[in-house]
Amino acid sequence: MQNYVFIIDTKKRPLNPISPKKARRLLKKGKAAVFRMYPFTIILKTAIDDPTISPCQIKIDPGSKVTGFALVQNGQVIWAMELQHRGGLIKKKLESRRAVRSGRRNRHTRYRKPRFLNRRRPQGWLPPSLEHRILTTQTWVKRLIKFCPVNEIWVERVKFDTQKMQNPEISGVEYQQGELAGYEVREYLLEKWERECTYCGKQNVPLQIEHIHPKSKGGSDCVRNLCLACEKCNQRKGNKPIEDFLKNKPSLLQKIKTKAKQPLKDAAAVNATRTKLVKMLQSVRPVVTGTGAQTKYNRMKLRLPKQHWIDAACVGDIETLTLITSQPLLVTCFGQGGRQKAALNKYGYPIRHNPLKPIKGWVTGDIAKHQKLGIGKVTPRSKGSFGFTSLGMKGYKSCKPQDISAIHRKDGYTYGFCQ
């Protein structure tokens, strides 16, 4: 089951998304043409009088690394997407730039007057790696609104309640049982310990919340003292100190102790952006918010697998949900490329000149169609022929610029589909 196809009329106004079968029929009969490849959109060639529009809702599950999107129409998920952010790459590049500037200040160069008065951060400032998550989400929300009739945006506002993680109010039987109790803690532990038993590494088995330092011997309910264990390991450990239980596995013991002390980095990243994200979305369309506990409860009640786009579809107060699609669009953000005038080697010395973009109307990463080589990515060159890499193939072949036609221009993202 593939995503529905977006369709717009002759005035570029969004209509109800249609099934891939209907889209192929319109294209084959010449009643429509391809308007955009990602997300796939077609445009009608003849006008329609007073079309019937059924509004859709954009549902968003914000994440520190991957954000899930789902379009829901009349209780049916007709389109889905997973957006992978590049916050880690931005942070890495900023650290590299900071190291270069630090080295430059320490060299014997001309005196530069200190500049500290222009370093004040405005109110509501976020680090670039976090601001990027909001901007890319905004880009895709506005893009979907252009091609689909959207009346509301549903977003998960709280992914992890760090205050409840540090000082949980639930205890005893309710800590491991109950309908909604501990869902925030459980979800965080599942992501932190990679959905496997901490002690034996088993996956795809029921996992229980386990106290690293036994509660009967003074261990707290703090998230740093919690991990996940299968029933067999949980029973074997009992109330033994972890040092006694893993005395024959010192490497595993050290790994667990190190991982348990890891900060709530991903949770903090989501919490830091959630308020600004909601304000941004409210300026676009009316917003309905939900909690992370409610999302997981809906997903488990409907017996749906754990995926980012499915979590997005389960945001908010829902009763039923039908998955029309099972093949979400996978989008990875890579940016538009640098503005570096020369390519450098690992020692920082220039090795070649980078030509100005675009080259003969083409940019590296454009998707084009070749008469013989099919569809692939273009690598333009200032002199001679272009490089052409067919999709799904390794290596590139040479081609002439006049033999290719553009399908999708580079927009800072790469696209794929879940197999």
pLDDT in tens, 190-225: 877 888 898 988 888 888 888 888 888 888 877 778
pLDDT at site 172:
43
Over residues 80-88, mean pLDDT: 92
Give every CB contact of residue 369 below 8 A, 6+ residues apart in sequence: 375, 404, 405, 407
pLDDT at site 160:
56
**d(C-alpha 311, C-alpha 321), whole Å:** 12
Pick from 78-87, 119-128, 157-166, 239-248: least confident: 157-166
pLDDT at site 283:
93
pLDDT at site 266:
64
Reply yes or no on whether the pLDDT at 168 is more than 50: no
pLDDT at site 203:
86
In three-state secondary structure terms, 247 is coil
The pLDDT mean for the chain works out to 84
In three-state secondary structure terms, 85 is coil
**d(C-alpha 290, C-alpha 265), whole Å:** 22
In three-state secondary structure terms, 353 is strand
Domains of the chain, by residue range, sit at 56-86+127-159+267-333, 162-260, 352-410
Reply yes or no on whether the pLDDT at 178 is more than 50: no
Reply yes or no on whether the pLDDT at 255 is more than 80: yes
Reply yes or no on whether the pLDDT at 286 is more than 50: yes
How many CA within 13 A on the CB side of residue 103? 7
Render pLDDT for 25-51 as a digit per residue (tens, 0 to 9).
999 999 999 998 899 999 999 988 888
Between 234 and 123, whose confidence is greater?
A: 234
Between 43 and 264, whose confidence is greater?
A: 43
CATH architecture of 56-86+127-159+267-333: 2-Layer Sandwich (3.30)
Choose which CATH entry (3.30.160, 1.10.10, 1.10.30, 1.20.950) describes domain 162-260.
1.10.30
**d(C-alpha 322, C-alpha 80), whole Å:** 13
- Can you tell me which residue has the tokens 């002439």? 400
Pick from 124-138, 166-180, 344-358: least confident: 166-180
Render pLDDT for 70-82 as a digit per residue (tens, 0 to 9).
999 999 999 999 9
Reply yes or no on whether the pLDDT at 118 is more than 80: no
Reply yes or no on whether the pLDDT at 184 is more than 70: no
Between 293 and 358, whose confidence is greater?
A: 358
Reply yes or no on whether the pLDDT at 65 is more than 80: yes
Could you tell me where the beta strands, DSSP code E, fall in 305-373? 322-323, 329-333, 342-344, 350-353, 367-370
- The model's pTM is 0.75
pLDDT at site 9:
93
Reply yes or no on whether the pLDDT at 106 is more than 60: yes
pLDDT at site 333:
93
Beta carbons of 191 and 302 less than 8 angstroms apart: no
Render pLDDT for 393-412 as a digit per residue (tens, 0 to 9).
888 889 998 899 988 898 88
Between 13 and 275, whose confidence is greater?
A: 13
Over residues 244-267, mean pLDDT: 81
Percent of the chain with pLDDT over 70: 89
Reply yes or no on whether the pLDDT at 175 is more than 70: no
Pick from 211-215, 292-296, 336-340: least confident: 336-340
Between 6 and 111, whose confidence is greater?
A: 6
pLDDT at site 185:
74
